A and B are shown apart, each in its own frame.
Chain A
Amino acid sequence: MLSRTADNLYWIARYMERADTVARLLEVGSRISLLPSAHGYRSEWDSLLQATGLTHAFAQKYGQTVQRNIESFLFFDRDNPSSVASCITAARENGRIVRTALTTQVWDALNTAFQELKQLEREERSKLELSRLTDWTMRHAAMLRGAIDATLLRDDGFNFLNIGYYLERGDNTARLMDVKYYVLLPRVDFVGSGLDNYQWTTLLRAMGAHRAFHWAYGGEVTAAKIADFLIRNPQSPRSLATCTAGLTNHLGRLAKAYGRETEAQEKARGLAAGIESATVEAIFDEGLHEFLTRYIAEAAVLANAIHDSYLSGEMR
Chain B
Amino acid sequence: METLCAEGWLCSSRARAGRGFPVAQFNEMFQGAEVRIPYSRLQDWVATMPQELRSLKQAEAEALFRRIGITFAVYGEGGDPDRLIPFDMFPRVFSGGEWAKLERGIKQRARALNAFLVDVYGRGEIIRAGRIPARLVYQNEAYEKAVAGFVPPKGVYSHIVGVDIVRTGPDEFYVLEDNCRTPSGVSYMLESREIMMRMFPDLFRENRIEPVDTYADKLRRTLASVAPARCPGEPTVVILTPGHFNSAYYEHSLLADLMGVELVEGQDLFVDGDHVWMRTTEGPQRVDVIYRRIDDAFLDPLCFRPDSMLGIPGLMDVYRSGGVSICSAPGAGVADDKAVYTYVPDMVRFYLGEEPILQNVPTWQCGRAEDLAHVLANLADLVVKEVHGSGGYGMLVGPKASRDEIDRFRAKLSEDPANYIAQPTLALSTVPTFVEEGVAPRHVDLRPYCLVGERIDLVPGGLTRVALTEGSLVVNSSQGGGVKDTWVLAE
Interface centre among B67, B254, B267, B279 (most CB of A within 10 A): B279
Answer whether residue A93 sits at the interface, using C-beta atoms and an 8 A cutoff. Answer: yes
- How many B residues have CB within 8 A of the partner chain? 24
Which secondary structure characterizes the binding site on chain B? Answer: mixed
Answer whether residue A52 sits at the interface, using C-beta atoms and an 8 A cutoff. Answer: no
Interface positions of A from 237 to 279, Cβ below 8 Å from B: 254, 258, 260
Query: Across the interface, do B253 and A99 meet the contact criterion of CB distance under 8 Å?
Result: yes
Residue ID in chain B nearest A160 by CB atoms: B281
Query: Across the interface, do B69 and A99 meet the contact criterion of CB distance under 8 Å?
Result: yes
Min CB–CB distance B404 → chain A (angstroms): 43
Query: Across the interface, do A6 and B281 meet the contact criterion of CB distance under 8 Å?
Result: yes
Interface string of A64-106 (1 = CB under 8 A from B): 0000000000000000000000000000010011011000100
6 A-B pairs (CB sep. < 8 Å)? A2-B280, A3-B280, A96-B249, A99-B253, A111-B67, A313-B279
Partner pick for A313 among B66, B254, B262, B268, CB 8 A cutoff: B268
**Which B residues touch A314, using CB under 8 A?**
279
Partner pick for A4 among B69, B256, B267, B284, CB 8 A cutoff: B267
**Which B residues touch A160, using CB under 8 A?**
281
Answer whether residue B315 sits at the interface, using C-beta atoms and an 8 A cutoff. Answer: no
Query: Across the interface, do B69 and A96 meet the contact criterion of CB distance under 8 Å?
Result: yes
**Which B residues touch A107, using CB under 8 A?**
69
Interface string of A129-162 (1 = CB under 8 A from B): 0000000000000000000000000001000100
**Are A111 and B69 also in contact (CB < 8 A) when A1-B280, A96-B244 are?**
yes
Interface string of A1-35 (1 = CB under 8 A from B): 11111100000000000000000000000000000
**Which A residues touch B256, using CB under 8 A?**
100
Residue ID in chain B nearest A100 by CB atoms: B257
Answer whether residue A298 sits at the interface, using C-beta atoms and an 8 A cutoff. Answer: no
Answer whether residue A115 sits at the interface, using C-beta atoms and an 8 A cutoff. Answer: yes
**Are A3 and B244 also in contact (CB < 8 A) when A100-B253, A316-B284 are?**
no
Interface string of B59-97 (1 = CB under 8 A from A): 000000011110000000000000000000000000000
CA gap between A266 and B438 in the complex, in Å: 68
Answer whether residue A108 sits at the interface, using C-beta atoms and an 8 A cutoff. Answer: yes
Query: Across the interface, do B283 and A315 meet the contact criterion of CB distance under 8 Å?
Result: yes
Answer whether residue A165 sits at the interface, using C-beta atoms and an 8 A cutoff. Answer: no
Interface string of A159-172 (1 = CB under 8 A from B): 01000000000000
Interface centre among A1, A2, A6, A115 (most CB of B within 10 A): A2
Answer whether residue A310 sits at the interface, using C-beta atoms and an 8 A cutoff. Answer: yes
**Are A258 and B263 also in contact (CB < 8 A) when A4-B268, A99-B257, A108-B67 are?**
no
Min CB–CB distance B242 → chain A (angstroms): 12
Query: Across the interface, do A1 and B67 meet the contact criterion of CB distance under 8 Å?
Result: no
Residue ID in chain B nearest A93 by CB atoms: B244
Partner pick for A2 among B67, B250, B264, CB 8 A cutoff: B264
Min CB–CB distance A109 → chain B (angstroms): 11
Residue ID in chain B nearest A157 by CB atoms: B281
Query: Across the interface, do B281 and A3 meet the contact criterion of CB distance under 8 Å?
Result: yes
**Which A residues touch B267, using CB under 8 A?**
4
Answer whether residue B164 sits at the interface, using C-beta atoms and an 8 A cutoff. Answer: no
Residue ID in chain A nearest B272 by CB atoms: A316
- A-B complex: 8 closest residue pairs judged by Cβ atoms: A313-B279, A100-B257, A99-B253, A310-B281, A3-B279, A97-B244, A6-B281, A100-B256
Answer whether residue B431 sits at the interface, using C-beta atoms and an 8 A cutoff. Answer: no
CA gap between A156 and B283 in the complex, in Å: 14
Known: A99-B257, A111-B69, A316-B283. 13 other contacts (CB 8 A): A2-B262, A3-B279, A4-B265, A93-B244, A96-B244, A104-B68, A108-B67, A111-B67, A160-B281, A310-B281, A312-B279, A314-B279, A316-B284
